[in-house]
Structure 1
Amino acid sequence: MFPNLRRRPAWTVVILIAGMLLSMLSVGWLTWRQALLSESEVFQRQLTVRAQALTQRVDRYRTLPEVLSLDPELRAALQRPLNHYDVDYLNRKLERANGASQSSTLTLINRSGIAVAASNWREARNNVGEDYNYRPYVRDALATGKGRFYGIGTTTGLPGYFLSQAIYDENGATIGLIAIKIALQELERQWPRTTDMVVVSDKHGVIFLTSREAWRYRLLYPLTPQAEAELVATRQYQSETLSPLNFKVSKTLDNGSRLVNIDDPELPRRMLLQSIDLPNSNWRMHLLHDTSSSATTSWWAAAAAAGLWLAGGLLVLFVRQRQRIARLRLRSRQELETVLKQHAQELRTAQDGIVQAAQQADTGLSRSLEHLPQGVVIIDANLNLVAWNSRYLQLFRYPSELIYVGAPIEALLRHNAKRGLLGDAPMEVAIQRRLGHLRSGKPHLHESEKGDGTVLEIRGNPLPDGGFVTSYADITSYKNAARELRSLADALEQRVAERTRDLEAARQEAEQANRYKTRFVNAAVHDLLQPLNAARMYTSLLPSHVHDEAGRHVAESIDAALASQDAILTSMLDIARMESGQLEVHVRDFALDSLLHVVHNNFSMLADSEGLQLRTRSSRYVVRSDEALLRRILQNFVSNAIRYSRKGRIVVGCRRVGAQVRIEVHDQGPGIAPSLQREIFEEFRRLDEGHADDRGTGLGLAIVERLGKLLGHEIGLRSTLGKGSVFWVTVPLGDAAALQPAVRPSAPTRQDDAPLQGGVAWYIEDDPQTRAATRALLERWGCAVPFAGGPHEALQRAHPGNAPQLVLLDVHLGNQLYGPDIYAQLCERWGQTPPVILLTAERDASLRRQAAERGWGFLAKPVRPPALRALMSQTLLRIREG
């Protein structure tokens, strides 16, 4: 391995070092390459899952335009002039069709590209009346029936994915289209906020979806003049600046993944790039992954290889020093034996050549062809036999008198034609065609099947000095195997199709089970809230009937217990709504300081009663979130801090973290052990350190965690035993310029300090206990209740002239009776439409929205008496002022 070690020690050292470096480079490079391939396969699967999630999100909305395009009212609206009332009706219809989703917008567009109606008509910047004829999804739908397009809305300024469907008249002519805009920003919040990045680019290489905000509207490659003209014409990205992304592909792996160098100081310089095409679109999804772990692995492998090389090299030097003389002797003997073998082989070769030439001259058989598995025949320029092998004779079984050196090939062809081996053509035509082909000297390749089922592959090639060599290979087994493989592939495809159907059936069963569970929870909570509502009404009457201190304490304890039960049922219903996707989210920009003031005002008195100091730091930040749901998260944090703190201060403040704001609630409670910090976010998980009379329901933090996931806000906790805890939520910064100045409502002029005194109200409810309790409470407030009963009795007693000032109405009245329908029948009999307040255990957001549209009051059961009194007073005051 290393010659002349004693004479050249310097060369030995050089070779050792060079080998060590070479082994380090080789092993390190191979390890790094293998690690990259392994990581790329893992992240390729992750990329596929994310691509499926994006495709499924778009597919959820794909059928809505197709269904609405068949609506006769929308079709009729596009065929006649519309007045103000028609447009208002169409706007409300599209708003209802859009449902509870806040991530889509429906727009009805006529043949000229003008938006006739839209589901966002309530917003200041809505689509109604806008001209969208320049948009590709409008032109494509009018031309081909369907369209799709991603871009920034020219009206709202918000990006989204547009799907459109043409609307046809009775004769099949296109009269307009219906388009849906899908917002995909919620999906971005689910992508990782680490050095790993997920981006989606369009056909021009423009990044429009990304887990890194700084990369939005960056270019993966320069735009062509045609692409620039198209973007300007369609206003796809409005006035956004499309700056290039500085990256360079340095290497492409075997599985298609690429190593790229990225010029971004906040990211690793070298990253692994995975890409996948999204179906039914011209988008591509890309995943960039940090390769530092692969580099670390390769460095360790290189170091180990260097150590092994040095150890092996030293061992080899030691052993070779002792074996050097023995090897020299062995080498001399081997060289002598090699020379003798070469001479012997040359003698045998010469002798075999003489014998072979003699045999070939006599028989035409060629030993050089005998080892071939194919049948081979060689003819000269005169089309006479020169040589063949035994396999050729086995395949065709020629008579011995036909096979000899110099035999004409035409005799063999004629013999085969008589046996039907030359096809169905006339014998002379087939023979002359084959002879002509041999004379032309052109190579050929084809297959032929014999009568016994044997399939031969016939391959012919011309010889340099004239003549032809033809081989006949038996490929029968290959053909049979191919047929079997095709049969197996067909069977596998059928099994895959059956498995796919089974999986689809299982998925539908799971979804149906989930719907049954949600429906059961809603129904159970609804039934539980009815008696709880009656109990809350009765407990509000107890203080007027109990005059001793012990009795008032019992009444207060009962009311507190019912309030706790109310909180548990409300929390369970909220969890069910979040799991079923029925909880609406209204994300907008708002000032954080106003929200913090509301939280402080709600809990300052409770903190003082527990001997705690609640401090709220003012904030100048504008955040983007759902104000009501974010307020609920903070209220749960502050409520827990009050519940588990026995002394000290509770501080609510915020700090900026990059492009986000982290709102923190600090307490000086007992702290939470590290082993329990994950468990407290589970349902019905409570700690034992709370106040003895108020340990909570165990659902507050579970709801907080679900709300955080729903809003895309990170929820966190850090705690030290004996010192306190900090609960926090991270919210993205909003746009202060987008805030609208708040309009202070004018204070109503109160004409009476007791609006309920002398008022008249009907209460329509199917639960007798709730009726009795509510009637007693209203009469105690001075409000007359001439009727409190069920729907059938109310219809019997209603006649012109006895309409009340106010109607308290339940929504679900049993036996499939619907409260608003009963109210409509009562108004017909009264000849009047008195104001109505809905008192219901149904917490559907769409029901609350419909009540607001009609100008009705709305209170969810169990009803808090102060809230009922305030709402009734406001309603009666408006009647008297009007």
Structure 2
Amino acid sequence: MYRLGRYRKLAMTLLVMIGGTALCAVSAGHFAGQRALAGESAQVQRQLQLYGQGLQQRIDRFGTLPQVMALDPDLLAALRSAPDPAGRQRLNLKLSQANQVTRASTLTLVGRDGVAVAASNWDQPSTNVGEDYSYRPYYLQAMAAGHGRFYGIGMTTGVPGYFLSHAIDDADGTRLGVVVIKIELSALEQEWVASPDIVLASDNHDVVFLANQDPWRYRLLRTLGTQEREEMLASRQYADRSLQPLRARTERVLDDGGRIVRMADPAMPRALLWQTIDLPEENWHLHLLHDASAAGAVARSAAIGGGAAWLALGFLALFVQQRRRLSAHRQRSRRELETLLKQHAQELRSAQDGLLQAAQDADRGLSRSLEHLPQGVVIIDSQQQLVAWNSRYLELFRFPPGLVQVGRPIEEIFRFNARRGLLGPGPIDEAIERRLNHLRSGRPHMRESEKDDGTVLEIRGNPLPDGGFVTSYADITSYKNAARELRSLADALEHRVAERTRDLDEARREAEQANRYKTRFVASAVHDLLQPLNAARMFVSVLRAKLADGEQQQTADHIEAALSAQDAILVSLLDISRLESGSLQTRVRAFALNPLLETLAREFGIAAEGRGLQLHWVPTAAVVVSDEALLRRILQNFLSNALRYTQRGRVLLGCRREGGRLWIQVHDQGPGIPESLHKEIFEEFRRLHDGQERGTGLGLAIVERIGRLLGHPIRLRSVLGSGSMFEVAVPLGRAEEVVASVLVHAPVVVETTADSPLRGRRVWAIDDDAHVSAATRALLEKWGCDVEQSEGPQAALDAAHAGLAPELVLLDVRMGEFHGPALYEALCERWQARPPVVLVTAERDDALRALAADNGWGFLAKPVRPPALRALMTQLLLRHRG
């Protein structure tokens, strides 16, 4: 019977533990899950409101444009009477210009009969001009109510968009036609792609027409009625798109209207939180589907926590109950043992022993309540006499027997310690009196004292309520030793850190010095390589004039092309070196971008025609802040790569505004670049092998470094088989900040054999390289110049006399110990005249170029193109004559 009751009690305990655990887990999980789900639902609603505001703002930006266009007198005149071809062309151009300003998709003027009279895409294959739009709802709404709105797929372009229309009325109220603007919302979908959630927009028929994931687009949220299908078929709203139903099962509905759904098509592995808001102005609905698994995870964690808390509480209760049982058992055992003893004799003996022990303790001053303390403790009364102490106090100070007794003045203890040197240096009486006064003052204190054997004591004193004083002595020697060791270790670590810092500084200085040596070496090497290259190009120019055979002329052209390619490689290497060393100077200012784009389009347009390609560019009125020369270099590399890798089609140069920046873009129709190579192609000597010609592999490396120097981000987008787009972001400026451009482009002059201003001119060509001097003399004599001097700098100084100055000087810059500008000043002093001078140098120094510009000198970089040299010499001679 006892065993049965015991088992029953155990079963009840287990039932309470298991049942309580399950109940707490379910309750905690339900409460936490509900709270987490409500929080996520509120957050999703806020996010959805932001998406809705963004969509509405994009539409509102174009909302008034049809109304404004409807007031245009040219459009009204075109609808009153059919325009002639020239008038129709002017109307198309006007709509195209307006479309470029507003950056909409298309602008279309539709007549009373529903046929498009003019459109901004008149020059595109998918032009709207001549198309019948009388069946489109936006046309019918505008003709009936004066304005209309409709989302659908363009019948001529095949591109979906949102159509806003407004009627154009005559002065007597007669409705003449409709002006329509089309807004493409695909850019909005691209912004939604970054969201981890699913964002949808549906029309009044509950057809999803916008989505940030392709499988969700053109889905039916409900079954369409017969009338709805007929309306959509008549308006051809979604053209030939297949509208598939979206299959979802609602598991529960939240208090705020949100739903927890399971998706069957498109299939989703987890439950989703579905929130919807209305866009009443457009009669649309915006939906956001958010992963609801996080709330489930919170619920599971809360359930585990609740169950664990109940189990802990249950085990604690069992532990307390068991302790109570053990305590009761011990008490019962003690009572049984006491009944076996002789109570009276034991009580008398215990009382006698207790009295005897108390008397002995009182004589010795030992306190049992102080024996368990690790510190030495001594207590004195208000008369400064010993009352109590513990054995640890006696061990610390090693007092002789009989010295420490109850009632002995503490002054005698101090004097005994002073004779042993424990009170420090100085007069003994003063040290004792100082300690006694401190005890009389009743102020607490704490100090440290070190004994002769190295033991360090921490002494703490506190007054007692009745006027006495208690003092404790703690041995902290081990702590002090550990602190000293830590300080020594910290000093050693600081010393090692200082040494490592010095080593790192030395290594950094050595690296910087090596980088400077490398930069100077590269600059010097490029300079020395450009000298013979310059002579070779001049000799080739002279040789071409002496060759009559066509094949020989072609061979000379090939030699010229090879030298040009070598020139490009050396210049690129020098630019890379200057960019890495930070020696490239920048001149950032505000300037109008359109002239630069026009120049590039003209220059590269000729090269594009030679390859059978088309180069289009879009004018802009933007003002940007950058270094015009370096920005030109970036765009030149973009355009050069685009022409090199495009086999057929066209290349487009244009701009796109984004906030306070302008993205300058170059689009091509080449083979595209794999995503795995997007970063590698900006490294040195990286190139693709499927272009029409091989490049140096340095162009994009220079672009990346110039962009980093100017703070201009560089981006690449590419689709294999469709083409690539390179773009650079430039800060926008203000028109009032624009100053005159300092870029000087060499005039393009076609070399002829006819008479020219150079014939018979006395010219000095000064260069320390014999081959360059010979080539320059041959080239100048070919042009009919009288070359009086073509030797080095010392020979020029020896030959310079007053009244014998030449008409023009060609001067190198770096010639051993001679510097070109300084040599020119010395020659002018001897000539007593200042003839025009052209600095011909391999130095790529912006300061040198600026010096030449300030003094009105000519400046050409080696290797020199003969036509450019001829043009510059002619220009300087004519200017000097004037």
State TM-score, norm by structure 1: 0.63
- Paired residue total: 607
- Equivalent residue, structure 2, for 1:270: none
Q: How far, CA to CA, are the matches of 1:327 and 1:307 in structure 2? A: 24
- Equivalent residue, structure 2, for 1:700: 699
Going from structure 1 to structure 2, the CA distance change for 1:558 and 1:370 (only over 3 Å counts) comes to same
- Equivalent residue, structure 2, for 1:731: 730
Q: 1:666–1:727: 8 Å Cα contact kept in structure 2?
A: yes
- 1:717 paired with 2:716, answer yes
Local SS of the residue matching 2:818: coil
Going from structure 1 to structure 2, the CA distance change for 1:739 and 1:822 (only over 3 Å counts) comes to closer
- 1:15 paired with 2:14, answer no
The equivalences for 1:416-565 within 5 A come to 416-565=417-566
- Counterpart AA for 1:336: A
Q: How far, CA to CA, are the matches of 2:876 and 2:402 in structure 1? A: 122
Offset, 1:786: 1.3
Q: How far, CA to CA, are the matches of 1:371 and 1:601 in structure 2? A: 100
Local SS of the residue matching 2:379: strand
Local SS of the residue matching 1:458: strand
Local SS of the residue matching 1:402: coil
**Per-residue CA distance 1:224-277 (angstroms, 9 max, x = gap):** xxxxxxxxxxxxxxxxxxxxxxxxxxxxxxxxxxxxxxxxxxxxxxxxxxxxxx
- Equivalent residue, structure 2, for 1:139: none
Offset, 1:722: 2.0
Q: How far, CA to CA, are the matches of 1:339 and 1:725 in structure 2? A: 92
Query: For 1:308, which of 301, 304, 317 is the aligned residue?
Result: 304
- Equivalent residue, structure 2, for 1:676: 677
Local SS of the residue matching 2:459: strand
Q: How far, CA to CA, are the matches of 1:342 and 1:540 in structure 2? A: 125
Going from structure 1 to structure 2, the CA distance change for 1:494 and 1:2 (only over 3 Å counts) comes to farther
Offset, 1:811: 1.0
Offset, 1:829: 2.0
- Equivalent residue, structure 1, for 2:157: none
- Equivalent residue, structure 1, for 2:50: none
Q: How far, CA to CA, are the matches of 2:794 and 2:784 in structure 1? A: 27
Q: How far, CA to CA, are the matches of 2:615 and 2:804 in structure 1? A: 53
Offset, 1:342: 9.1
Offset, 1:17: 4.3
Q: 1:16–1:313: 8 Å Cα contact kept in structure 2?
A: no
Offset, 1:355: 7.7
Q: 1:764–1:788: 8 Å Cα contact kept in structure 2?
A: yes
- Equivalent residue, structure 2, for 1:788: 790
**Per-residue CA distance 1:834-858 (angstroms, 9 max, x = gap):** 1211111111111111222222211
Q: 2:25–2:304: 8 Å Cα contact kept in structure 1?
A: no
Offset, 1:563: 0.5
Going from structure 1 to structure 2, the CA distance change for 1:440 and 1:676 (only over 3 Å counts) comes to closer
Q: 1:686–1:696: 8 Å Cα contact kept in structure 2?
A: yes
| RMSD over aligned Cα atoms | 4.1
Going from structure 1 to structure 2, the CA distance change for 1:425 and 1:545 (only over 3 Å counts) comes to closer
- Counterpart AA for 1:407: R
Q: 1:806–1:834: 8 Å Cα contact kept in structure 2?
A: yes
Offset, 1:808: 0.7
- Counterpart AA for 2:302: A
The equivalences for 1:25-424 within 5 A come to 302-303=298-299, 305-306=301-302, 308-309=304-305, 333-334=325-326, 336-337=328-329, 339-340=331-332, 357-424=358-425
After superposing the two structures, state which structure 1 stretch, 757-766 or 355-364, moved more.
355-364
The equivalences for 1:630-779 within 5 A come to 630-691=631-692, 694-740=693-739, 754-779=756-781
After superposing the two structures, state which structure 1 stretch, 597-606 or 430-439, moved more.
430-439
Q: How far, CA to CA, are the matches of 1:25 and 1:563 in structure 2? A: 74
Q: How far, CA to CA, are the matches of 2:695 and 2:497 in structure 1? A: 52
Q: How far, CA to CA, are the matches of 1:798 and 1:639 in structure 2? A: 47
After superposing the two structures, state which structure 1 stretch, 364-373 or 338-347, moved more.
338-347
Q: 2:533–2:563: 8 Å Cα contact kept in structure 1?
A: yes
Going from structure 1 to structure 2, the CA distance change for 1:531 and 1:438 (only over 3 Å counts) comes to same
- Equivalent residue, structure 1, for 2:605: 604
Going from structure 1 to structure 2, the CA distance change for 1:786 and 1:325 (only over 3 Å counts) comes to closer
- Equivalent residue, structure 2, for 1:586: 587
- Equivalent residue, structure 1, for 2:824: 823
Q: How far, CA to CA, are the matches of 1:737 and 1:345 in structure 2? A: 109
Q: How far, CA to CA, are the matches of 2:675 and 2:759 in structure 1? A: 58
- Counterpart AA for 2:326: Q
**Per-residue CA distance 1:93-138 (angstroms, 9 max, x = gap):** xxxxxxxxxxxxxxxxxxxxxxxxxxxxxxxxxxxxxxxxxxxxxx
Q: 1:25–1:302: 8 Å Cα contact kept in structure 2?
A: no
Offset, 1:600: 0.8
Local SS of the residue matching 2:757: coil
**Per-residue CA distance 1:427-477 (angstroms, 9 max, x = gap):** 444434433433333323233333333332222222222322111222333
The equivalences for 1:566-585 within 5 A come to 566-585=567-586
The equivalences for 1:829-840 within 5 A come to 829-840=830-841
Q: How far, CA to CA, are the matches of 1:797 and 1:573 in structure 2? A: 35
Q: How far, CA to CA, are the matches of 2:768 and 2:800 in structure 1? A: 17
Local SS of the residue matching 1:756: coil
Local SS of the residue matching 1:411: helix
Q: Which runs of no fewer than 5 residues in structure 1 stay unpaired?
A: 29-193, 196-294
Going from structure 1 to structure 2, the CA distance change for 1:788 and 1:328 (only over 3 Å counts) comes to closer
**Per-residue CA distance 1:658-680 (angstroms, 9 max, x = gap):** 22222221222222222223222
**Per-residue CA distance 1:267-289 (angstroms, 9 max, x = gap):** xxxxxxxxxxxxxxxxxxxxxxx
Offset, 1:388: 1.2
Q: 1:2–1:12: 8 Å Cα contact kept in structure 2?
A: no
Offset, 1:727: 1.6
Q: 1:376–1:472: 8 Å Cα contact kept in structure 2?
A: yes
Q: 2:443–2:463: 8 Å Cα contact kept in structure 1?
A: yes
State TM-score, norm by structure 2: 0.63
- 1:624 paired with 2:620, answer no
Q: 2:380–2:387: 8 Å Cα contact kept in structure 1?
A: yes
**Per-residue CA distance 1:334-376 (angstroms, 9 max, x = gap):** 3632654898999999999878645422422122222222211
- Counterpart AA for 2:759: Q
Q: How far, CA to CA, are the matches of 1:689 and 1:724 in structure 2? A: 13
Q: How far, CA to CA, are the matches of 2:565 and 2:307 in structure 1? A: 74
Q: How far, CA to CA, are the matches of 2:400 and 2:777 in structure 1? A: 119
Q: How far, CA to CA, are the matches of 2:303 and 2:601 in structure 1? A: 66
Offset, 1:405: 2.3
Q: Identity over the aligned pairs, expressed in percent?
A: 58
Going from structure 1 to structure 2, the CA distance change for 1:430 and 1:739 (only over 3 Å counts) comes to closer
Going from structure 1 to structure 2, the CA distance change for 1:576 and 1:300 (only over 3 Å counts) comes to farther
Q: 1:24–1:305: 8 Å Cα contact kept in structure 2?
A: no
Q: 1:757–1:781: 8 Å Cα contact kept in structure 2?
A: yes
Offset, 1:544: 1.4
Q: How far, CA to CA, are the matches of 1:741 and 1:772 in structure 2? A: 40
Offset, 1:18: 5.0
Q: How far, CA to CA, are the matches of 1:865 and 1:498 in structure 2? A: 60
Q: 2:26–2:303: 8 Å Cα contact kept in structure 1?
A: no
Q: 1:23–1:309: 8 Å Cα contact kept in structure 2?
A: no
Give the number of the structure whose alpha-carbon radius of gyration is greater: 2
Q: 1:652–1:663: 8 Å Cα contact kept in structure 2?
A: yes
